[in-house]
Amino acid sequence: MSLRLAVALDGAGWHPAAWRLPDARPADLFTVGYWADLVAEAERADLDFVTVEDALGVQSARFHLPDDRTDQVRGRLDAVLLCARVAPLTSRIGLVPTTNVTHTEPFHIAMGIATLDYVSNGRAGWRPQVASRAADAAHFGRRTTPQLTDADLTGPEAIAAALEDLHAEAGEAVEATRRLWDSWEDDAEIRDAATERFFDRNKVHHIDFRGKHFSVRGPAITPRPPQGQPLITVLAHACAPFRLAAGGADVVYVTPHSAADVTRVLGEVESAKTAVGRPADHPLLVFGELVVFLDREPGAAAGRAQRLDELDGAPLTSDAEIFTGTPAELADLLLDRRASGLDGFRLRPGALPHDLTLITEELVPELRRRGAFAPDREADTLRGRLGLTRPLSRYAAVVQSL
């Protein structure tokens, strides 16, 4: 089976000093053209999808608190709106924006992602994210969220434990969103002027979702998306987010730092699937995460990463493994990790556009030469490209009048 490959786009790259490089485009970060160029580059290499980061507060060098640094990129465009704008400029690649579920209603998220699926003709995905910074709540004034302390940052499990209730709430948000996507049956729209019937009322359903954190009556105002269920992806490092992924995602991103670590993480994913009772016929694809710095000459990428660290004043740290090397060396690592059981990878380019270009122009051809990357060109949706079926609406057999 072909290895699946995605890239995670964020600002000028995942290194906070990347915007200061000569080939960076800091003046263009808030223009559509900048993002369209990046996505087009990824599409030319036939990558499966791109993800776009987002948050409810400006970036910070601190995980749990805002900072006052002015020497790093600050500010973002809305990821869903940006993907909707880029979608008509592309034709094959999947578009997966991040949205926060702690302070955003599932109804709004469901309509936004469904609309993106229509705009992209079935290439939309979604990455739900919780608000890990209590300061984000002040933008909305309706609730407070836990303030993490330095003691909570001792490791992924400690952070997840402190945010466990938010992950449980996120699980409810994902379930409500999925139900809203199903609330219109596929053939609910009739559009028959002769009989004066635009839609069949009996095929549009209240979802009546009731959870601990909120309830959603439904139905959606947007008809069922082209994919039925747009792709849902979750980044997970610990037990609670693993359960979130197992309960409602199609793809989980994981961050092992070795082949042995892959085995451990895959075991945790399987345990989470068992704990939530995920059906065996609902596949959960597992993508490994890597921050990548690439150059054609051996040693050059490590030198470039070191210079970026010097510009920033500190070594880059990341939840994911940081790789520096040649595209061929990265291909070796990816194939080794795939042999351990991973389905694919989401690569985070350390600096844009340099590392994205090395992925598309050097890594992808290298993987093709090794027979490891041969994406499905016949599939016309993101789900189809990843080998996932289009699910039926859970309400299709229900006859219910509005």
Could you list the residues known to form a binding site for FMN, using ranges.
54, 98
d(CA 269, CA 257): 16
Q: Residues marked as binding?
A: 54, 98
- Nearest CA to 341 out of 389, 382, 285 is that of 285
With a CB cutoff of 8 Å and minimum separation 6, the contacts of 178 are 229, 232, 248
Tokens linked to 372: 């490891």
d(CA 204, CA 219): 7
d(CA 170, CA 158): 18
Q: In terms of C-beta distances under 8 Å and separation of at least 24 residues, what long-range contacts does 304-307 make, across chains too?
A: 304/351, 305/15, 305/350
The answer to whether 158 and 239 are in contact (CB under 8 A) is no
Amino acid in position 296:
R
DSSP bridge pairs for 127? 98
Amino acid in position 332:
D
d(CA 82, CA 94): 13
Given the DSSP bridges, would you call strands 94-100 and 125-129 parallel, antiparallel or unpaired? Answer: parallel
Amino acid in position 31:
T
| DSSP tag of 204 | B
88-121: b or e for each residue (b if 16 or more CB lie within 10 Å)?
eebebbbbbbbbbbbbbebbebbbbbbbbbebbb
Q: In terms of C-beta distances under 8 Å and separation of at least 24 residues, what long-range contacts does 150-159 make, across chains too?
A: 152/64, 153/63, 153/64, 156/237, 156/238, 156/319, 157/238, 157/239, 159/63, 159/132, 159/237, 159/238
Rounded to 10 degrees, the C-alpha dihedral 147/253/325/20 comes to -40
